[in-house]
Structure 1
Amino acid sequence: MSVLLKLTNVAVYVGDACLLEPISLALKQGQPLTILGQTGSGKSLLAQAIMGLLPTDLSVSGDIEAFGKVMTIEERQALWGREMVMLPQEPWHSLDPLMKGIDQVKEVYQFVREKDPQEALAMAEEDLRHVGLADNGHKRADELSGGMAQRLAIAAATAGGAHVILADEPTKGLDVTRRDGIVRLLQARSKLGSLLTITHDVAVARQLGGLLLVMKEGRLVEQGEAAQVLDHPKDDYTRELIAAEPRAWQDMAPTMRKNDADDILIADNVRLERGGRTLFDGLSFSIKQGEVVGIVGDSGCGKSSLGDALLNLLPVSSGKLTRSNKTAKPHQWLKLYQDPPSAFSSSVTLGQLLDDVVDLHGIDKARISPLMDRLNLPEGILDRNCLAVSGGELQRFAILRALLLDPVFLFADEPTSRLDPITAKEVTGLLVELASEAGCAVLLVSHDMDLVRKTCHQVVSI
């Protein structure tokens, strides 16, 4: 097998501080390589270093060899699309907000693969059918759910036929069926080349097979054949990571006496339409103070739209929504977004964003540090903007900001989709504690049925 990509002692620094310790690896043709690890362990930094996408304040050392030649950043960037492609962790960073999805895939075939317009359209339609978007190609990215946007980004990125595919958390926010389909799609696209996948999902790492590298806090802790590492882990962290999968959790749902709790929200025979399509009809349920309610359903079925309707951000088509807590302020009805970058401005630091919340709502600033410790957030991220931290760190920061506002109702839209199993368990536990300790109602969306069963008092299927 020929080596398509080779790294020799590649490290990433911010100033003199080492964020990613020297790492060497070889990506061979036809042999998938997966990097598994905790949120913020340096996995995405490594992918950005390979592609030449590191922020300007970070530097890289070591040699990066592509197709048998040690290349500069500019030389690697010249390979984008045709020979090397990266699927970013956030689909919104790679999609044109003004173009229909079908056109974004079509133009890759037309301008990269040099197909005529009719053939390019036919190939784009086939790709969208493979990723379950056959009926949604006419929509813009902002009209798609997070999972649907992720599938569109993958279809567009892989249409160019690149031999080296770097996929950064390609299955986050997808239900199991869609997840498995995306893995199969990436495997098929990489048969003649190579696939490097970054994930915190142990099931995805197992399904991909090939070589597996396990990372923690910017260093490599274990490597070997995927099946061998996952079935017989040697490092304590690898064992901890595997043991933290939701199916192994103890029951987290706190004990609550429903007769003593008041309904905070009632949905009665609700129907919701969007874009001329009925998402769901006849939906009825109630949520009490301190209750954790799970929302499950396939990607694109309307789970996020339901949450927006409950927060009065979308009108319902029929039926009735009743909020019974009249003393809560508007900012105490909150949403944790599936894609946290959509909730933050990149023009200021995270620290400034917290200061604005503190000043606006008169919050005791002394509450911030203990919450940051509880969420495993380093103080240093407050000096960065939302684009300079990992997806998992930004999601935990979003939870921090929400907790400071003492919510009475929290719509958590896939709040752990960017977190490794260990951090996901901790964050989910924190949300459950919030419901129990503060009497906050939590509506939890997840594609992971094991997670929902272990944490929720009731489950609503859409």
Structure 2
Amino acid sequence: MSSYLLQAEGLTIRGEDVTIAPFSCSLTPGGRLTLLGETGSGKSLLAQAIMGTLPKGLVAQGQLVIDGEAFDAADTTSRRALWGHRLALLPQEPWHALDPTMRAVSQIAESHHHVAGRDQRASLQAAWADLKELGLPEAGDKLPGELSGGMAQRVAFAAASAGGAPIVIADEPTKGLDAPRRDAVVELLARTPEAAGALLTITHDIDVARRLGGEVVILRQGQVVERGPAQQVLTHPQSEYGKRLLDAEPSRWPAPAPLGECDMAAVVTANGLAKVRGGRELFRDLSLTVRPGEIVGVVGPSGCGKSTLGDMLLGVTRADEGEVRRAAGHSLGFQKLYQDPPAAFSPHWRLSRLLDDLVRRHRLNRSSIPPLMARLGLDENLLGRRPGEISGGELQRFAILRVLLLNPCFLFADEPTSRLDPITQRQTLALLVELARERRCGVMLVSHDPALIERICDRRITLGNESMSVTKREREPAMA
């Protein structure tokens, strides 16, 4: 019997233009391993290979040890009996893990009942306790579609971990969470190794990797470029890519060039907005104006109404009080980048077909697709895949591509780079700002990262349970 809780030897993944070079790791009880690296580098595919859930067309080879038992990586069916009991995956996309027709508390209770073996009453009590611990006591009676992205993320976390599996694989577990909620989830993740379990975490958040400690592996294009203790790798990286990764943290970004004077009419104006949801007032007497080419940041805790505000400005949701005025003459001018791109793409069609339908439906210029793909760092080979067959970061950039093809005058960007590694995130947001300035498109950018908002935005709107404030960026150095 092996002493390792989780071990991978010579794990490789091949197929459909994907090659993940031999990857090895060993986690004993109490071990922590964090995978960092660029979007599409194979981090999530390694997790899927261990779970035995690789997409169709990809094949894993190598040897695995899971909770002391040996497995051939190519044999996917034999590991299904371990799911929930000995091996748990906290998925990157909560919408793929939650039943859209089941209340949140019932989904968590189901795991406590069927996986952990508790009776129905004890399962329900445990589920409510989980929600309270995650700061979601009000979410238990809601359907997934009624939750914000951050709230759905925490519900999926609770459901996946309810079985008490000793090995936990967490794929972007803090994506879309504000700092307090992120820290709470990190504390919950840390309980697995502290209880003699093993934790494998995939994240783009360098601060999360620092807090978890243990060993860090940096991946690029399917290759391990650096590995070692977290303190060493995340303080004094030896590889050039590792240094670039740390330098791309938002706190180190230069700010964009100032907007300058603009005599064009505002693209959207709101006066005296108020909204109550679920018996709780989100905001009241909220007024704002977004000018052509202006980048306005929106920050606040999960569930404070950031996405709701965007839907009001776009005309999707009605305000309880107040009015919204939008610039006239733009039939497709008001667009949204969704927080969770899988919910915005049909899973059944290849990306080439989805883009073709958009071009045909709105009589767009097809020749603008290749240069935009190049600027967004998207390989043309990805067009032959379905949305579920590419990484979350790649799909997020396709969402940006699709909305830019419509040449909007106002764009509400709801956590548009939450799935991107720091380097790609910086490049993508720099491009978004550049195009917004070029095309005179007003942008409202939602993020839980205050440093990102500070570096990118001309002004900041802060929403909260009791207050709302608008802050203008005081310093305006040019983009390097």
- Shorter-chain TM-score range: over 0.9
Of 348-357 and 59-68, deviating more is 59-68
Aligned to 1:360: 361
Aligned to 1:26: 26
Aligned to 2:305: 302
Aligned to 2:402: 401
Q: Are 1:183 and 1:204, in contact at CA under 8 Å, matched by a contact in 2?
A: yes
Alpha-carbon shift at residue 118 of structure 1 (Å): 2.2
Aligned to 2:320: 317
- Matched letter for residue 152 of structure 2: A
* 1:144 pairs with 2:134: no
State TM-score, norm by structure 2: 0.93
> 2 CA distance for matches of 1:461 and 1:168?
29
Aligned to 2:50: 50
Q: Are 2:415 and 2:446, in contact at CA under 8 Å, matched by a contact in 1?
A: yes
Aligned to 1:277: 280
> 2 CA distance for matches of 1:18 and 1:246?
30
Q: Are 1:211 and 1:224, in contact at CA under 8 Å, matched by a contact in 2?
A: yes
List gaps (5 residues or longer) in structure 1: none
> 1 CA distance for matches of 2:82 and 2:328?
58
Q: Are 1:272 and 1:281, in contact at CA under 8 Å, matched by a contact in 2?
A: yes
Alignment deviations for residues 134-188 of structure 1 (CA, whole Å, 9 cap, x no partner)? 1211111110000000001001111100011000000000111111110101111
Alpha-carbon shift at residue 361 of structure 1 (Å): 1.7
Alpha-carbon shift at residue 103 of structure 1 (Å): 1.0
Alpha-carbon shift at residue 68 of structure 1 (Å): 2.7
Alpha-carbon shift at residue 364 of structure 1 (Å): 1.8
- Matched letter for residue 202 of structure 1: I
Aligned to 1:69: 69
- Matched letter for residue 227 of structure 1: Q
Tell me the SS of whatever aligns to 1:200: coil
Tell me the SS of whatever aligns to 2:298: strand
Distance change (3 Å), C-alpha of 1:348 and 1:18: closer
Q: Are 1:253 and 1:455, in contact at CA under 8 Å, matched by a contact in 2?
A: no
List gaps (5 residues or longer) in structure 2: 464-480
Q: Are 2:67 and 2:86, in contact at CA under 8 Å, matched by a contact in 1?
A: no
Aligned to 2:59: 59
Q: Are 1:158 and 1:189, in contact at CA under 8 Å, matched by a contact in 2?
A: no
Aligned to 2:346: 345
Aligned to 1:244: 248
Aligned to 2:121: 118
Alpha-carbon shift at residue 410 of structure 1 (Å): 0.4
> 2 CA distance for matches of 1:138 and 1:277?
15
* 1:418 pairs with 2:419: yes
Alignment deviations for residues 55-100 of structure 1 (CA, whole Å, 9 cap, x no partner)? 1211111112212332232221110011101111100111111111
Q: Are 1:13 and 1:60, in contact at CA under 8 Å, matched by a contact in 2?
A: yes
Runs of 4+ residues deviating >4 angstroms: none
Q: Are 1:256 and 1:290, in contact at CA under 8 Å, matched by a contact in 2?
A: no
Aligned to 1:159: 162
> 1 CA distance for matches of 2:22 and 2:320?
56
Alignment deviations for residues 163-217 of structure 1 (CA, whole Å, 9 cap, x no partner)? 1100000000011111111010111134231110001111011010001100011
Which of 200, 211, 214 is residue 196 of structure 1 equivalent to? Answer: 200
> 1 CA distance for matches of 2:410 and 2:160?
38
> 1 CA distance for matches of 2:104 and 2:183?
22
Alpha-carbon shift at residue 18 of structure 1 (Å): 4.4
Aligned to 1:134: 137
Alpha-carbon shift at residue 117 of structure 1 (Å): 2.2
- The count of residues paired between Structure 1 and Structure 2 equals 458
* 1:433 pairs with 2:434: yes
Aligned to 1:93: 96
- Matched letter for residue 54 of structure 1: L
Aligned to 1:177: 180
Q: Are 1:253 and 1:456, in contact at CA under 8 Å, matched by a contact in 2?
A: no
Query: Matched residues, percent identical?
Result: 49
> 2 CA distance for matches of 1:60 and 1:116?
38
Q: Are 1:254 and 1:432, in contact at CA under 8 Å, matched by a contact in 2?
A: no
State TM-score, norm by structure 1: 0.97
Which of 296, 313, 329 is residue 327 of structure 1 equivalent to? Answer: 329
- Matched letter for residue 59 of structure 2: S
Alpha-carbon shift at residue 27 of structure 1 (Å): 1.8
> 1 CA distance for matches of 2:28 and 2:376?
38
Which of 290, 295, 298 is residue 293 of structure 2 equivalent to? Answer: 290
Alpha-carbon shift at residue 277 of structure 1 (Å): 3.1
Tell me the SS of whatever aligns to 1:231: coil
Distance change (3 Å), C-alpha of 1:254 and 1:355: farther
